[in-house]
Chains A and B, each alone.
Chain A
Amino acid sequence: MCFSQEKKDSILFEKKVKEVIISATKSSKSLEKLPLPGSIINKQEITETSSNKLDEVIEKQTGIVSVPTRTGAKGLQMQGLDASYTAILLDGCPMVGRSFGALDLNRISLADIEKIEIIRGASSSLYGSNALGGVINLISKDKVKDGENMEFGMKYGTNNSFNTNVLYLYKKGRLQLSNSLDYYKTDGYDLIDSDLLNTINPFSNYSFRSKIKYDLTNKIILKANTRYFLQEQENSAEQGNNLLEGKSNINEWNAGASLNYLMFNDFSSEAEIYTTNYKTDEFLENLNGSLFDENYFDHTLLQSEIKNKFNLKKMNGIVGFGMAKEKLERKDFSSIAKQDLKFIYGQLDYTAFGSIDIIAGSRYDNYTNYDPEISNKLALGFPISKQIKYISSIGTGFKIPDFRQRYFDFTNSTIGYTVLGREVAFDVLTEMEKDAMLQNIFIPISEINSPLKSETSLNINIGIKFNPNDKVSFDINLFKNEVKNLIEAQMVATKTNSLPVFSYFNLNQIETKGLEFNTSFRPNTKLEIKAGYQLLYAYDMDVKDRFENGDMYAKDLQTLESFKLSKEDYFGLFNRSRHMGNLKLFYNLNEKIDLHTIITYRSKYALNDSNGNDILDSYDRFVEGYALCDVGVAHHTSSLRSIQLGVKNVFGFTNPEYISNISGRLYYFQIKININN
């Protein structure tokens, strides 16, 4: 955004700058020396692609797919793992507020974000639950230039989408300030005309974020930040031939403060407190204005943490501990759900024999009413030659059962099927049995009288980084994730009205494995080409066993008769593509004009079974593979001003039946103005 400066620094035009990653060690670490699969989306990529919200840029990264949830929000899939397994952090602090496990990425404004760090693979050894599959950490600008700086952006595009943001930065002496405001509104879009509903209803949101940093002394730094997010969306549903209308609102805030004390040159201690609240309110009204349905969700997290870091010549280390309180109040919980956590972790980052990088860490999480979880990580990297570096890591992760899986107590009010969280199921079912409300019991009630176990993962990465010269780089990474004790709903009984009662169980085990490949090529100072590819195999292990044993069948889609499947016919989990790729071209035509093109590809996948076996085999109907192409041009009218024009999804690809989050061709126009003082 501050083009005058950014331009000179930009990696496009200069030799590659040494990038620094924070998320892997909770302190700055050279990306080059990191023995884990970590990557960075830098400011240049964010700016050049006119990305103002996290979803716009994250879905262009290798191996990351933006997947729509049942509520229309966009979540992400990484290394073939569901959205619920990736922790989303804002300057290291976790965001809450997920719908069916996915955190809506459109909630996150990039106005004050300097870079986005992505750690693939289990990261629970630093971040605990929810980081089972990886971490996405949005890092805001930490070092501000002296004086006042303002960045202003305005963007308008198809679907009447309007986005404006202002970033104000200030530094004088020991004080540093950053304030950002972002407003977004869209009319949404409708891919299917034949029904009464929109695919995405109109919505608008504001986010405001303020950060302050004050150096009390040379050794003591005080930081505080606050963020507020407000969203209003039209809500609608179809009942029979009637349209029900209402509103769906989100209120979210977070606030944090930290005190960093550099006790000695090589030892510092940081105390941090952080709290966040995510609240939704929604309702639907009948045509006559009477209330049809309402819903609320109110999730609070309060967390405090002490981080002690030491930095010796060859060895950096961190020991942290803390506690967290979490609370969820929502419709269909019999009481307010609460949980407390105490945790302690330590990690060493050691360079042996001058060139061997080792990271070893462990974390102990103790949730009330749960067995403690210990998560570990060990990573090793060393140069094979001057240009080639080997990296490998192994880690474990876990995800504590979520509040819904534990405390849900939902009975459909008009008819009465029931869903029970595991911690209320035993009592409720015992009561129902006593009152003779149960007809068939499929799972003995006594078996439900134990808490759910955490979902756990084992993650392995083995990779090579190859940098033959300054112009070219290749990264290749083989990965494997095994996730056990997957929690899913299962029918426990039927009631006398013959409707089912569900509860949650640790059932399946899945495996995702594959290969990720990234390359970047800068033939000259004007052109940069990046390409990425992911090969993915994702299986349910029980289903795989059934295939091995030869007892899997499918219905012929023409005759509807069954036939036996062979073990090669198992395609894998739903919503996983075997191949994904991207190609990004950034071209600097002259001093004033930048061009870019981004192509992303996703091979065929399926969202549900079509041939009578509830699994995905090669005879099923698939959602066809597709490619999306974005193009854009930026004209820097002066060092402080620019205009960007672009088209996302140039070929207007849509698939109304299966893909709700691709809206067709999107034109946009953006102005950016930078005011330096």
Chain B
Amino acid sequence: MKTKMKTKVFLSFLAIAFAFAGCKKDSTDPETVITATITELDAQASVTPNPPPAPPTITGEYTKFSFAEGGVVEGDNWDVAFRSTSIIVNGGVASDSSQPSRTGHAAVYLIDGTMAEITSVDEALLMQDNSNVTAIIDDMGYQQMGWCVYDQTTNIISPIAGKILVFRTHDNKYAKVEILNFYDSTMSNIYGGFYTFNYVYQSEEGNLTFE
């Protein structure tokens, strides 16, 4: 407990120091923190409709994403992969045979807050997928244990407000993500699967802060 407190104090001290430093160094140092928005990342699954309120049956490939690349990747350098409401990381063990192979150290946790409030990574919270369950629970929005909520009257899946995903990437860097939307602008797929999200990526290895 004490050590934790100390770390926290130390971290916030660091954060302040960084903030200070940041102000001054802005123009000289290369910026290690990258902020971006990804719009309508296509992670549609093959969806077999079931009569409501049953959620659909979902099969198909995962769409792999790399924070360093800022887009979809095909190789093993992915950090996170999406398929419909399911989110997996390039780390840990697959819980189902349709998931891509994992070679990295990625991990993730879900925390309450806004993007601005989450300023650093709490390593103790990081989890990897295991053979039973993914680190980000995919409940299809039924119980709000994951990142989304399913509205049984409108059949719409929405990102839960105030949920930030904090990632360790496959190569031990950090990123935070806020999912904004699960549908494309034309609502071309009523089951969604189009991720629009904001992310902040700390490209400096070992740096646990996003500032």
Answer yes or no: A547 CB below 8 A from chain B CBs. no
Tell me the smallest distance from the CB of B137 to a CB of chain A, in Å. Answer: 8
Interface membership of A412, Cβ < 8 A: yes
**Chain B minimum-CB-distance residue to A411:** B54
Does A552 touch B at the CB level, under 8 Å?
yes
Please provide the chain A residues from 269 to 286 with a CB less than 8 Å away from any CB of chain B in the complex: none
Q: Which of B13-21, B68-76, B141-149, B165-173 contacts A (4 or more CB under 8 A)?
A: B141-149
* Contact of A564 with B57 in the complex, beta carbons under 8 Å: no
| Residues of the A chain whose Cβ atoms lie less than 8 Å from the Cβ of B164 | 562
Cβ < 8 Å to B, chain A residues 484-531: 490-491, 494, 497-500
A239 and chain B: residue at smallest CB distance: B51
- A609 touching B151, Cβ below 8 Å: yes
CB of A436 within 8 A of chain B? Answer: no
Asked whether any CB of chain A lies closer than 8 Å to the CB of B114, the reply is yes
Q: How many Å lie between the Cα of A609 and that of B144 in the bound state?
A: 14
Say which one of A192-200, A314-322, A352-360, A553-561 lies at the interface with B. A553-561
Most chain A CB neighbours (cut-off 10 Å) among B48, B153, B162: B162
- Is residue B50 contacting chain A, with contact meaning CB distance below 8 A? yes
B144 touches A561 (CB 8 A): no
CB of A562 within 8 A of CB of B162, answer yes
- In the complex, A379 Cα to B159 Cα: how many Å? 49
> What separation, in Å, do the CA atoms of A555 and B115 have in the docked complex?
12
User: Would B161 and A554 count as touching, CB distance under 8 A?
Assistant: yes
Task: Name the residue of chain A whose CB is nearest to the CB of B164.
Answer: A562
Cβ proximity bits A602-642 to B, threshold 8 Å, 1 near / 0 not: 00000111011110000000000000000000000000000
Q: Which residues of B have CB within 8 Å of A612? A: 149, 158-161
Which of chain A's residues 77-92 have a Cβ closer than 8 Å to chain B?
A: none
Contacts A608-B153, A608-B154 given; indicate if A553 touches B57 (C-beta within 8 A): no
Contact assessment for A415 and B160 in the assembled complex, using a CB-CB cutoff below 8 Å? no
Determine if B196 is an interface residue (Cβ-Cβ < 8 Å).
yes
Chain A residues contacting B142 (CB-CB under 8 Å) are 491, 500
Please report which residues of chain A, range 581-617, place their CB below 8 angstroms from some CB of chain B when the two chains form the complex: 607-609, 611-614
Chain A: CB-nearest residue to B150: A614
Inter-chain CA distance A559–B160, complex, in Å, is 14
CB-defined contacts of A499 to chain B, threshold 8 Å: 50, 54-55, 57
Q: Are B159 and A415 in contact (CB under 8 A)?
A: no
A553-B50 in contact (CB<8A): no
Chain B residues in 8 Å Cβ range of A562: 113-115, 161-164, 178
B121 close to chain A: CB less than 8 A? no
Binding site for A on B (CB under 8 A): 48, 50-51, 53-55, 57-58, 112-115, 117, 132-133, 137, 139-140, 142-145, 149, 151, 153-154, 158-164, 178, 180-181, 196, 198
Where the two chains meet, the residues of A that have a C-beta atom closer than 8 Å to any C-beta of B are 412, 414-415, 417, 439-440, 442, 490-491, 494, 497-500, 551-555, 559-564, 607-609, 611-614
Q: Nearest 6 CB-CB pairs, A to B? A: A553-B162, A560-B180, A612-B161, A553-B161, A415-B50, A417-B54
A-B contact pairs, 15 of them (CB 8 A): A412-B50, A417-B54, A440-B133, A442-B143, A491-B142, A498-B58, A499-B57, A559-B180, A560-B196, A562-B163, A564-B117, A564-B162, A609-B149, A609-B158, A612-B158
Other A-B contacts than A608-B153, A612-B149, 15 sampled, CB-CB below 8 A, are A415-B50, A417-B50, A417-B54, A440-B132, A491-B142, A551-B112, A552-B162, A553-B163, A561-B114, A564-B117, A611-B161, A613-B160, A614-B149, A614-B151, A614-B160
